[in-house]
């Protein structure tokens, strides 16, 4: 049996049918009230049919005031759960859990990485702006102590609603520079209260979120955490600190940790800034995963750059990880896991290599997800210029339609 085809038993007893995970990808398919739609069911039905053992959703926000993009689903105790919101989530979950697929809702708060088109007053651990144009991201204000204390309750509520809707787990997003990741890094977290200072204090909010989510759900409900192996910024969250947080997460009884890296300022998750030798052998964070796996008392999913079956099975064989996360290739080829497992193909198409200019990649892949959600075939021939124009037009149209903006 192929290593990719082997099942994996998680600490809570749930079994993944194979070692391929669909990594979380922002979709932008919510309606004007940030509710799930039939487009989610269409897209996630395709991914469930595609054969992955676990499918992780794009980030679902825990606070509608702060979005990663205008098309995010939001579950925060207000508009998200009324007027058909729960029924839409149930349809989404039914589609995504078909064929024995584990479907985990990624739950998140973007913090200072809330774009200006949806919020002029983002929040962060401290009032540290992104080193990016203020035309895209407004300067954040520091959260009050009461606002910080409210965060675990928000994550717990969203997780409870996910379980009620039929999702089989959640992934708590603590990577890529979003709020929980911001608390972990001393570059952004300069607080002088109990949430700032040494690593134990900076990791305190993440650990409280995990505990709150566990209390709000059930033992058979899976809890994963997405964590940076490093921020790849001098003075930021380091790999040594990551190793300690991994140990603490194991003690907190999470079921799986997904390893990635970087943030909006340093997008290592897209291959930028990763070691050249690592990029050549595909897996951007493989060197870090080897160290993390030694420290981790729970299974590890490694995401970032895998394109050949040989590299995927090599990482599993050496024990660097337990699950292979696939992202961008599955924006186009939703049946990629099935084709890898059956031997129909031995590689994922590296679509990013054909996109010119490279900065069009984000829009290009997002538009492919929208096509799947709309029941259309992906446009593999889309030009980079068309991707940029189409993505910007979609974001502006979606933002303009948001209720209450």
**Cα dist. 173→7, 111, 325, 403 in Å?**
25, 12, 15, 25
**Cα dist. 285→125, 260, 373, 402 in Å?**
27, 7, 30, 37
d(CA 298, CA 12): 10
Q: Which one, of 234, 235, 233, 214, lies nearest residue 223 by Cα?
A: 214
pLDDT digits (tens, 9 = 90+) for 313-349: 999 999 999 999 999 999 999 999 999 999 999 999 9
Report domain extents, the chain: 3-349
Q: How many CB atoms neighbour CB 247 within 10 A? A: 14
Question: Which residue stretches of 10-144 are H helix?
Answer: 38-49, 85-96
Q: For residue 339, what pLDDT is reported?
A: 98
Q: For residue 276, what pLDDT is reported?
A: 43
> Contact at 8 Å (CB) between 263 and 177?
yes
Q: Which one, of 378, 373, 393, 271, lies nearest residue 42 by Cα?
A: 373
DSSP E strands in 236-375: the ranges are: 256-260, 300-303, 323-326
Give every residue of the chain whose pLDDT is below 50, as ranges: 268-280
Q: For residue 274, what pLDDT is reported?
A: 43
Q: For residue 266, what pLDDT is reported?
A: 55
Please state, for a pLDDT cut of 70, what percent of the chain lies above it: 93
Q: For residue 268, what pLDDT is reported?
A: 46
Q: For residue 79, what pLDDT is reported?
A: 55
Count the residues in the chain.
405
Please state whether the predicted TM-score (pTM) of the whole model is above 0.85: yes
CATH architecture of the domain with range 3-349:
Alpha-Beta Barrel (3.20)
């Amino acid at each position: 049996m192929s290593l990719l085809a082997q099942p994996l038993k998680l600490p809570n007893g749930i079994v993944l049918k194979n070692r391929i995970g669909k990594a979380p990808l922002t979709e932008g398919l919510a309606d004007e009230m940030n509710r799930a739609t039939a487009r989610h069911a269409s897209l996630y039905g395709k991914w469930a049919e595609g054969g992955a053992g676990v499918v992780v959703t794009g980030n679902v926000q825990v606070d509608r005031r702060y979005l990663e993009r205008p098309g995010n689903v939001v579950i925060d105790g207000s508009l998200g759960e009324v007027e058909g919101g729960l029924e839409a989530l149930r349809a989404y979950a039914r589609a995504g859990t078909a064929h024995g697929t584990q479907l985990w809702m990624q739950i998140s708060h973007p913090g200072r990485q809330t774009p200006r088109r949806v919020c002029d007053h983002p929040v962060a651990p401290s009032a540290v702006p992104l080193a990016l144009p203020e035309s895209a991201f407004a300067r954040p204000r520091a959260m009050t102590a009461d606002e910080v204390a409210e965060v675990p309750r928000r994550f717990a509520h969203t997780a409870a609603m996910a379980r009620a809707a039929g999702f089989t787990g959640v992934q708590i997003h603590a990577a890529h520079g979003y709020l929980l990741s911001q608390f972990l890094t001393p570059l952004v977290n300069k607080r002088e209260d109990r949430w700032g200072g040494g690593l134990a204090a900076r990791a305190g909010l993440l650990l409280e979120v995990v505990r709150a989510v566990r209390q709000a759900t059930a033992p058979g409900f899976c809890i994963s955490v997405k964590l940076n192996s490093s921020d790849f910024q001098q003075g930021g969250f380091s790999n040594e600190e990551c190793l300690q947080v991994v140990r603490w997460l194991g003690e907190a009884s999470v079921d799986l940790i997904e390893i990635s890296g970087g943030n909006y300022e340093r997008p290592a998750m897209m291959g930028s800034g990763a070691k050249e030798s690592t990029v050549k052998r595909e897996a951007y964070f493989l060197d870090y995963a080897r160290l993390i796996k030694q420290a981790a008392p729970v299974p590890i999913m490694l995401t970032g750059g895998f394109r050949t079956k040989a590299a995927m099975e090599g990482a599993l064989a050496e024990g660097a990880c337990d699950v292979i996360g696939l992202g961008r290739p599955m924006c186009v080829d939703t049946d990629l896991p099935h084709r890898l497992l059956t031997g129909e193909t031995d590689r994922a198409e590296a679509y990013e290599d054909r996109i010119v200019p490279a900065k069009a990649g984000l829009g290009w892949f997002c538009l492919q997800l929208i096509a799947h959600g709309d029941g259309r075939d992906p446009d593999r021939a889309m030009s980079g210029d068309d991707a940029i124009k189409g993505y910007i037009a979609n974001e502006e149209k979606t933002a303009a339609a948001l209720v209450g903006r």
